[in-house]
Amino acid sequence: MLTYILRRLLLAIPTLLLISAAIFMLVDLAPGSPLSDIPLTIPPEVRTKMIQAMGADQPVLVRYLLWLKQFFWVEPAYLLDGWFGTDFAQGAQRIISYQTRGPVFALIGERIPQTLTVIGTAYLVGVLIALPIGIYSAYRQYSWFDQVGTFIAMLGFSVPTFFTGVLFIVIFASWLQWFPSIYNTSLKVTDWGSFVQQLRQMVLPVMVLGLANASELSRYTRASMLENLGQDYVRTARAKGMREGPVVLKHVLRNSMIPVVTVIALGIPSIFGGAIITENVFKVNGIGSALIGAIHANDLPMVQTLTFIFAVLIVTFNLVADVLYGLLDPRIRYD
């Protein structure tokens, strides 16, 4: 297993380099530039200094290599400085946002808690709801529970989140007035009252994203369970007199979780990436809204950095999913 992990990590290096080059070039060569926002009334010498300050006067290859160095060396060095009080990043130039003129990773660090709180909770709720529904729907195939679960899953999977979000706002925030329609990012949890207020403002975005996540995952779980329930080893276990609970939960569920683990693991990067549409509907000041704001403002360093972080997370959790395969299925061996 260790040899396989090391081999995959070595293969991930050229993969990430290729992805980083593609992301940087596509964003850099796309229409629109912060230089176009500079007013024409500004004197030429001032305009030249502004272009030099943004580093836009350098060749694209030089800018790419500098950005890559800052991402993999300078920013981790700043992180070590913060943890251990060292001087690894002394005099180093960080990735700077065109929009705010502040370090990109500092801005991301300010948005991450909101994204993890809302999107992470929604993903966890979706997984906890989807797994038992998918398991029981497969075990009681074509029952009323299965029919209702299938209908709700298809509805949640088909209806886009921007429509569900607006619908929930109209019903629960406008008509019933149970929950607030806008997420208050500045709210600080200091006592029981603020904790309850935090939970109330999380309900609507968590419901929207949890419904979408649970709908997709419950279908995968049901399909995988149905495939394994008809296998010979299940009939053999039942013929030996094994109780139904261990047959379903120990044997069938373990084999059925292999494709489900892939879906869960590959969905985890979306927690850090944020939900762009839902965050904008409920005004959650998270990573998704930061990406949209950076695109509107032509903030190339922010867009490039956020997009590459998503790519790194996807490659990482692909490896995690492959490692979990070996733990779930003893027939899979990597060494």
Q: What are phi and psi of 103, to 5 degrees?
A: -60, 135
Please say if the pLDDT value at position 274 is more than 60.
Answer: no
Q: CA dihedral in degrees (260, 266, 269, 271; nearest 10)?
A: -30
**Is 192 exposed, middle or buried (CB count within 10 Å of its CB: 0-12, 13-18, 19+)?**
exposed
pLDDT score recorded for residue 31: 67
pTM of the model: 0.78
| Tens of pLDDT, residues 66-120 | 888 888 777 776 666 655 556 655 656 777 777 777 888 888 888 888 888 888 8
Q: Which of 42-46, 94-98, 206-210 has the lowest mean pLDDT?
A: 42-46
Q: What are the backbone angles phi and psi of residue 161, rounded to the nearest 5°? A: -70, -30
Q: Name the residue type at position 268.
A: I
Report the pLDDT averaged over residues 240-264. 79
Whole-Å CA distances, 318 to 223, 264, 313: 22, 10, 8
Residue 37: pLDDT band with limits 50, 70, 90: low
The pLDDT tens digits for 167-195 are: 888 888 888 888 888 877 777 777 788 78
- Of 253, 20, 26, residue with least CA distance to 134: 253
Structure confidence at residue 330 (pLDDT): 62
Lookup: tokens for 54:
């943004």
Higher pLDDT, 326 or 199: 199
Domain ranges of the chain: 40-94, 105-328
Please give the pLDDT value at position 54: 63
CB under 8 Å, gap of 24 or more: what pairs does 60-63 form?
60/25, 60/28, 60/29, 63/24, 63/28
Distance between CA atoms of residues 122 and 208, nearest Å: 8
Give the ranges where 57-143 is alpha helix by DSSP (H): 60-69, 75-84, 104-115, 121-139
Confidence of residue 226 (pLDDT cuts 50, 70, 90): confident
Point out the least confidently predicted range of 117-121, 286-290, 320-324, 330-334: 330-334
Query: Which tokens is 211 given?
Result: 């419904």
Per the prediction, the chain carries an average pLDDT of: 78
Residue 335 above 60 pLDDT?
no
The mean pLDDT of 216-231, rounded to a whole number, is 84
Question: Could you give the CA distance from residue 281 to residue 26 in angstroms, rounded to a whole number?
Answer: 28
User: Could you tell me which of 217, 236, 94, 204 has the C-alpha nearest to residue 152?
Assistant: 217
* pLDDT tens-digit series, residues 280-320: 788 788 787 788 888 887 778 888 888 888 888 888 888 77
pLDDT at residue 39 greater than cutoff 70:
no
Angstrom distance (rounded) from CA 102 to CA 9: 32
- Does the structure show a pLDDT above 80 at 254? no
> Could you give the residue ranges of the DSSP H alpha helices within the chain?
2-29, 44-54, 60-69, 75-84, 104-115, 121-139, 144-158, 161-168, 192-229, 232-239, 244-246, 253-267, 269-273, 276-281, 287-296, 300-328
Q: What percent of the chain has pLDDT over 70?
A: 83
In this model, does residue 253 exceed pLDDT 60? yes
Question: What's the CATH code, domain 105-328?
Answer: 1.10.3720.10
pLDDT at res. 88: 58
